[in-house]
Structures are given as structure tokens and as C-alpha cells.
Amino acid sequence: KDEFVTHLKSISISNVSFDLTIEKTGVFIQGQDYSIELEDIKVDPSALELVNQAQLKLAGNLEVFDSASKTLKYGEIGLRGNAETQLFDPSTGDLDPDVTLDLDISDSSYLTTKVPYIEKVWAFGKKLEKYGINFGTLPEKAGFGRSRKIAGRYKRGRVDVTQDLSIVIHDWEVAVNDKSWLNSGSEQHEFFLDLSASQKSSQSLVGHIDRLLKNVPKEIRGGIAEEIKSKWLVNDKLTLSLHSEGALSKPKVKTLTVLPNVDDLIKDYARKGAVDFLFKQFGGKR
């Protein structure tokens, strides 16, 4: 018996527009001028675990609005790139796309800072102001940073991030790191976030630390400064790591970075210095 294998070279659709409301997340999306091309479609019903794939190319623009008003604009995102798709579930034979995404974000893309989630994260980061860091007010728009790419996996409404995705606010960058995920149907999520400052803001922190420690004895000043910097600086940039989970509209956000208590550090180092002094005086060994 000959095997039945479907092999289509390509299917193309152009000038596609669509409206999509994701009720639980409060988001309304308009897609415009989309072109979609499925290439090299191969399906073997008797061996779906081996022959069951297609290459997808897409390009177009998304406009994102608040779903309640459909007039409050959250941003525009231009996407272009490729995806590899498993079309059917190998165990059931049902159509169940499993898509690996690799999409470039256009230079003109942006999000407004009126997005509730951005406001929440920014307010959380302002806790650093007591350490001499000036966050300022949120600007109207935030652009995309780092790789300007959306890379991940989509299956049954869930998107798993496989490459950092970030936006830039003033000279700060908010990155959603790999291993983060979002379920678009239930708005449940788990994000691992880095809130990173520019070199200039990071140097402001270093200067603030030096001012805090100016009255600390020189013999322990350097150790305290290095301990604080080791907790806060990643590649010489002030970085606050956050964790966010639950419903995207009402996220539970907590800090993963331990914010050092300078007074406690001074006491600890002073205590250690006193112990070292006693050992030296009485000939002890550490």
C-alpha cells in the first residue's frame, strides 16, 4: 500500500485585515495589510510525528487599543518574519498548530506608557528613588530595544518567550526575559523582568553610594561599596530583577533583587573589623 503524503509548494494570502478582541486582557487589536504565505507544506497522515510541517512567512501591522473604548491607543507594532509550524497533533490527528516564531519588529513600532502593566512596573521601580536614582515621569511613548525581535513558541493560546523582548523608557530598559509566558485566552502569565538603567544613571547610583559611605572608616568602605554594587550592577548597569504572575490586568509583582540596607552593611562590616582587630592583637588566626 502506497503512503499518502500531501505536499503543497505554497499558499499565499495578501491584503488581510482583521479585528480581534481579547476580552480578559482588555485589549482590542486591529491587523492591517497582512500578507501570509505558507510554504513547503508536508503532511503524512500515517506518520504525523515525522511529516507534519509548514513554513510560514508573514508581514503586517498591528494597532492595539483598550477594548472598552476602542479609542485609547496602546501602540502600533509592525511585524515581519518567519515561523515554523507543526500543523496537526501527532497523537490525535486534529488540526492543532504548534508555531515557532521569529519575527522582526519595525523601527517605527511603539507602545504608549498608558498600558496598565507598564504603569505598574514603572511605579514599582520608583522605589529606587530613595537611593538617588531619578526616574522622572513616564513619557508618552516607549520604543522597542535590544534585538527588536519577537521569538517564541505559540500553542493553544499560550506564548512562551525564547528571546528577551524589551522596551525603552527614557534611558531605562524593561525586558521580558526568556522563560516568560502569557496565555492570551486566560490572561494568566509569568514574566521574569529586568529593569535596567543606562550607564549614566548607573554612575549616579555609584556616586550616591560613595556619598553615603563618606563617613565610614576607609578600611571597610571599599568592601561595603563592592557588596552593594555586586547586588545591583549587571554588566556595569544598575539592574532591578522583578517577577510578575497572575492575571495580566492585576499582576502580582515582586522584587527578586535584594535591595541592600546600607546601615546594616556598615554595622556588619564594623563588627567584622572589630573581630579581625582582636585576633591580630592576641595573635589569633582566622
The packing angle between helices 218-232 and 199-212, to 10°, is 150
Radius of gyration of the chain (CA): 26
Residue 207 and residue 132 in contact, taking contact as beta carbons nearer than 8 Å:
yes
pLDDT attached to residue 186:
83
Identify the residue whose cell numbers are 510541517: 53
Select from 261, 274, 260, 259 the least CA-distant residue to 220.
274
pLDDT attached to residue 272:
62
Select from 61, 59, 101 the least CA-distant residue to 77.
61
pLDDT attached to residue 205:
74
| Beta carbons within 8 Å of 58's beta carbon, 6+ residues apart | 34, 35, 36, 37, 79, 80, 81, 83, 103
pLDDT attached to residue 286:
46
Identify the residue whose cell numbers are 588566626: 285
Q: Copy the grid coordinates of residue 284.
A: 589569633
Identify the residue whose cell numbers are 518567519: 82
At 204, phi and psi to the nearest 5?
-60, -40
Amino acid at 78: G
Q: Report the distance separating Cα 191 and Cα 166, nearest Å.
A: 12
pLDDT attached to residue 283:
46
* Per-residue confidence in pLDDT tens, the chain, 286 aa: 445 556 667 788 889 899 988 777 778 999 999 999 988 888 888 888 888 999 999 999 999 998 888 889 999 999 999 999 998 999 998 989 999 999 999 999 999 988 888 888 888 777 777 766 777 778 899 999 888 999 999 999 899 999 999 999 888 899 999 999 999 878 899 999 998 887 777 877 777 777 777 777 777 777 778 877 887 888 888 888 999 999 888 889 998 887 666 667 667 666 665 444 433 433 444 4
Global pTM?
0.78
